[in-house]
Amino acid sequence: MDVDEISSYPEMVQCYLDVCKMKNNFSSMGTVDLSKETWFSTTKLLLLAEFIARNPAMTVTKPKNSNVARYVDIMTAGEPRGSCIPMVKMPTEQRKADEALRCLFDLARQKDLATGVEAFSYILGELVSNMYEHARFTNAFCMAQLYKKMKFVEVCFLDDGISIPGSFREYGLIYDNHTTALVEALNGQSTKQDKGRGCGLGTSVSLLLEGLKSRVLVISNKGCLYLEDGMVPRGYILSEPYTLNGTLVSARIPYPVPQVDIYEYVNK
């Protein structure tokens, strides 16, 4: 179903759609108006920050709320501090990724998250590896935030690569429905020469959902998939202006992060 045909969405999906509307308004109005924004999720802010970074000359009206405006400044151009990891641009060479993402792994080792550090670190490593091995991106970013009062950690990765459907297409696996391609990737589908992508992504999402009881959003090209433990996955077919040239993977993990045995999921 096309997103325009639905009246309500999960909050993480709505955050994505909101940014798409802002981008579309910029195309016609030449400005991005954040004046009425009172809160930003990590997913929404990373999508917006990446768009602003690509268009440095654009006019941005800051939020009227001074605390929100300051938070936007910190998360888009600040240094890692405590529970927040501002937008990190990932290097094009994977061998340099560990240093760039050190702040993310430091977040995982914080006392408040330590019980789930093994699972949290494994997921971060797998998502990063998948991106480098298969996305063929020019630009990629990540952002994370621990929301103690709201009791969750949100981690988001965004790249401008060939997308999951595009990766399949290169090896003759054609999915006209891009959401189906996402489902197949999570179920373990991959290319003959490249067995890692589907299995790696599927294992990570399985651990996020079943082990950590997280909410997960995956968007790639014209496909959108929202997953939550115990609920039927919600898929959407995206049309302009809601398509994404690349891939977004966002996870909202309960806090404190529960301790789980990752090998129950890795060895499935």
Instruction: Residue 212: give its domain's CATH number.
Output: 3.30.565.10
Examine residue 122 and state whether it is found in any structural domain, yes or no.
Answer: yes
What are the tokens at 169?
């297409």
The pLDDT assigned to 101 comes to: 81
Amino acid 265: pLDDT: 82
Query: Hey, which residues does 225 pair with through a beta bridge?
Result: 218, 235
- Per-residue pLDDT 10s for the chain (268 aa) are 445 445 589 999 999 999 999 999 998 888 999 999 999 999 999 999 999 999 988 999 999 999 999 999 999 887 777 788 999 999 999 888 888 788 887 777 775 665 577 888 889 888 998 899 889 999 999 999 999 899 999 999 999 999 999 999 988 999 999 999 999 999 876 654 544 433 478 889 999 999 999 999 999 999 999 999 889 999 999 999 999 999 999 999 998 888 888 888 876 6
CA atoms within 13 A on the CB side of 110: 19
Nearest residue to 228 via CA among 245, 252, 260:
252
Q: Could you give the count of Cα atoms lying within 13 Å of 17 in the half-sphere of its Cβ?
A: 18
67-72 — which CB contacts under 8 Å span 24+ positions? 68/37, 68/38, 68/39, 68/40, 71/40, 72/34, 72/40, 72/45
The domain of 196 spans: 3-7+88-266
Does residue 55 lie within any of the structural domains?
Answer: no
Task: Decide if 104 contacts 155 (C-beta within 8 A).
Answer: yes
pLDDT at 27: 84
Contact 218, 247 (CB under 8 A): yes
Which has the closest alpha carbon to 155: 145, 163, 165?
145
**Position 56 in a domain:** no
How many domains does the chain contain in total?
1
| Residue 196, domain member (yes or no) | yes
pLDDT at position 113, please?
Answer: 62
Residue 198: per-residue pLDDT = 36
